[in-house]
Amino acid sequence: MSHKTPAPDELPSADFFDFESLLSVQEQRKLQEVREFLASEVAPYASDWWDKAEFPSHLLPKLGGLRLSAPTHRGYSNLFAGLVIAEMTRVDTSIATFFMVHHDLFVESLYEFGSQDQQDRYLDDATNLRTTGAFALTEPEHGSDVAGGLQTTARRVPGGTPDDGGDHWVLNGAKRWIGNGTFCDHMLVWALDEAELDAGRKVVRGFIVDGNLPGITRTKIENKIALRTVQNANITFKDVRISEADRFAGINSFNDTNYLLRGSRLMVAWQAVGQQLAAFDVARQYALERLQFGRPLAKFQLVQQQLVDMLGNAVASMGMMARIAQLQEDAYVDAKGERHGGASMAQVALAKSYCSARMRETVAMGRSILGGNGIVTDYRMAKIFADAEAIYTYEGSFEINSLIVGRNVTGVSAIV
């Protein structure tokens, strides 16, 4: 008996509750433009980039041409910004991660904490991807506890002469797991102020650091089993001189770091949504096309149950993220420059932990449906399955985010 596989457009979307309809008409059109770009420029090549652990630098001008850097600063809604990251992840998690690190951390830091001079010098090139940025926070011995364990230091050398850099800082320390770190033009580096440290105070500074300055060593982290296209680096700083003009004027404490991390953590939760959409897409298509015992896998009840569970996880995660996007729309800055409203760190932490847990279940079911073919990248699912492990861990591991929520709902910290 012949079997005709339904075309994808003949079946319901993985966006089963149609959250996309909440976007404006303009945003829906822009999202479709993003989809078409990803389908032609990324989807056919993503597995090959991943297998070779190579970053497609040639893609940067085309990505810049989408004009999507920091979407909310361009007038788009928070829901649109999240769905863009989900759609990118749906096609390739590594490209979405690059985009997120550059735009939601580096570019966003210029918008939020850069002086007018810094914005004038760096923002246009960065938003149009003529230059690339990174976010250098985590260290070899400090990941989840970096807020209290930061060891990289910066010592201010006031005055000075043009020969020794004028008014400048001297940076020493090391960073690890820095996305885009091997090739970025600039990085936002977090360090403790040495003078304040000597006085018994921990004051955090942020610096715009040219990645090619003398004293900087960048080494690619090899042998990863996830996000292989992303170029993560170990970076060391040995007496690196940074002009006072490149110290972020608006960064004075780790609370400023938390503001940026709250935004990027939300985008990683959207990545968890995108991973589930990808897993469902691939698993459903495979189940419709793969014949076993003389009929498509999709005709077996256990396979249908797994597909329904995958869809339920994806829809539940999208629902939570859509609500978070609504909360973000309520955020505002008062006349004193203080922020109010929006999603709290605990709400963001719950979204990250919940969505990443559902994602892990979803991709595991998807890999199971593909059987042996689920462990080779030829069928995409192996790559989806592996990349999910990075999402489960970075921007606050599942456990740390759970404990942030636990602290909020009990009033008692189980971390420190």
Which residue in the block uniquely carries the two structure tokens 């691939």?
282
Write out pLDDT tens, residues 145-189: 777 778 999 999 987 655 555 789 999 999 999 999 999 999 999
User: What six digits make up the tokens of 252?
Assistant: 């004075």
Per residue in 204-255, pLDDT tens? 999 999 999 999 999 999 999 999 999 999 999 999 999 999 999 888 877 7
Give, to the nearest 10 degrees, the angle between helix 93-100 and helix 254-289: 160
CA distance 240 to 237: 6
pLDDT tens by residue, 308-348: 999 999 999 999 999 999 999 887 776 766 777 788 999 99
Domains, the chain, ranges and CATH? Answer: 8-89+256-410 (1.20.140.10), 133-252 (2.40.110.10)
Q: What pLDDT is recorded for position 161?
A: 58
**Using CB atoms within 10 A of its CB, is residue 291 exposed (0-12), middle (13-18) or buried (19+)?**
exposed
Taking phi over 0 as left and psi of -120 to 50 as alpha, with beta for the rest, 143 belongs to: alpha
Q: Report residue 14 as tokens.
A: 């993985």
Tokens of 253: 């404490």
DSSP one-letter string for 271-336: HHHHHHHHHHHHHHHHHHH-EETTEEGGGSHHHHHHHHHHHHHHHHHHHHHHHHHHHHHT-EE-TT
Whether the Cβ atoms of residue 258 and residue 209 lie closer than 8 Å to each other: no
pTM for the structure as a whole: 0.92
Residue 24 has which token pair? Answer: 């404006």
